[in-house]
Chains A and B, each alone.
Chain A
């Protein structure tokens, strides 16, 4: 049996008296379509921050393909193939869409530390970035500034930047948050057509999105894993309904 793509064992993180992650045991398999759901404040984003190395865990380990990466710095984890999108857009607002993606691609391709060659003449970097924009149908917006773009398109640029890092693990933190429903299908289509060899973890509380996309669902409540299973199992779990789906159902 091979080690899972990404695994956490007894992962804990405390903020003072608050346990934002409590003994989280989690596995993400290669090519998985996994969703992490839970009510607000359940610790979903904290979990993403732990995996990507933004914050260190209080205790526990994180393994990638069996290798302990708990102590590895954020930038190194990106090099190992862990990429994320942010819940709230974090883009280079005054730069063009193409430049945004080029920065990510250049970083991954190891071109970003070169000092004496104009950035625009790195044809490999520019072509790869343009190719990514094409797959996300952003080509027409390539020369526009981020600040001129509608929010939904900006979300796509978030995705393009993450894909520019050629990840093996892709963490999508509420990819459709803040996108008008008329545009959200663009995001959903983009997620549907992600390459099958990427393990995707999507964090959301939009149930339509989660049940459409996920092959496996983990429910988190108060920093701990509450349940894990297939969408059908989770949908039928009365406890889950009580703590989470019930709330949404009543709303």
Chain B
């Protein structure tokens, strides 16, 4: 191959591509806010911990749904797999250490993702949607039946979790440790996903989402890329589930249910999928809205949420972040998009 005489790396398109992954000026904002929350609202750290875990779970969904275009309703299967891994190991006295516990949770969830992905990802569209739902329902029923291990419908409570790094106790009433622990894990997982989506691998996932047929025609191993992405996403969902079990010292069937899977999907659609930060915006918006709506209309607050979703689906396909992006583009019409 002969080197071209012109310096192509100076072409605006190449410069834009080479700088696409750089950290933008606004990107530290959510992290600063999350840290500020810790100091400003010490009474609400339990709520904050739950919120951060939801963000982490939504990021795992964004990887498969927003980037690879895999439509799934069964993401909670992996959340539950991670949660029950931590729960069963702790309850049976096999493993208490939190950080390695999360690695185990990720591994188990990844194996579930790999196994189910190998079968499910042969299908697509509505079939895939139904099969992901079925997989989750099967796992939920299995957890219900195996109550010797899982506690069945009652779940497992008072899980003994060792202090973080051998020093910081998890106090369920005053969850300072939990909050900072979850925030750190969220940051690590976020950096991982962010690196992934800007890599050539992530680029090829976007290619599969945009035009699967074309990806086949350029010689991409489409199925194995999708399965790998599905397993990685499952691992992150497993971390979210595992850390949820650790933070609450508790696991129940709700970690595996449709409620959780549907909520995280709503959050991602609300915030804007395929954008990394949609998970943050969506989770905050969802939590704030459900809080606000349930105050003004306690009996049927979900009606308001449903109406909002209809509006988003009809008029703002890219969610709240999509609206912000469109507004920013209108303010600076000549800026590079």
Contact = CB atoms under 8 A, between A and B. Distances in A.
A234 B1 CA distance: 39
A133 to B, nearest CB: 8
Contact of A143 (B16, B204, B217): B16
A51 B150 CA distance: 53
Interface stretch (B91-99, B141-149, B218-226): B218-226
Given A122-B200, A130-B11, A102 B6 contact: no
B216 A96 contact: no
B317 interface: no
A120 interface: yes
B201 A114 contact: yes
B201 A115 contact: yes
B213 A120 contact: no
Interface in B5-63: 6, 8-9, 11-14, 16-21
Contacts of A123: 9
A120 B325 CA distance: 22
A161 B218 contact: yes
B199 A119 contact: yes
Nearest to A113: B201
Given A84-B217, A104-B218, A99 B200 contact: no
A142 interface: yes
A179 interface: no
B200 A106 contact: yes
A108 B1 contact: no
Contacts of A16: none
B214 A121 contact: no
Given A78-B217, A120-B18, A127-B4, A106 B211 contact: no
B80 to A, nearest CB: 26
B206 A95 contact: yes
A107 interface: yes
B210 interface: yes
B195 interface: yes
Contact of B8 (A107, A121, A126): A126
A96 B217 CA distance: 19
Interface stretch (A20-28, A85-93, A181-189): A85-93
B153 interface: no
Q: Which of B18, B196, B202 has the most CB of A within 10 A?
A: B18
A117 B210 contact: no
Interface in A71-101: 74-79, 83-84, 86, 90-99
Contacts of A242: none
B198 interface: yes
A76 B21 CA distance: 31
A143 B12 contact: yes
Given A120-B21, A127-B9, A130-B11, A91 B218 contact: no
B219 A115 contact: no
A103 B218 contact: yes
A77 to B, nearest CB: 8
B127 interface: no
A119 B221 contact: no
Interface string B84-110: 000000000000000000000000000
Interface of A: 52, 54, 74-79, 83-84, 86, 90-99, 102-104, 106-108, 111-123, 125-128, 130-131, 134, 139, 142-143, 161, 164-165
Of all A-B residue pairs in the complex, the 3 with the closest CB atoms, nearest first, are: A78-B219, A142-B13, A130-B8
Given A120-B14, A121-B21, A142-B13, 7 more contacts: A83-B217, A83-B218, A92-B211, A95-B210, A118-B20, A119-B198, A126-B9
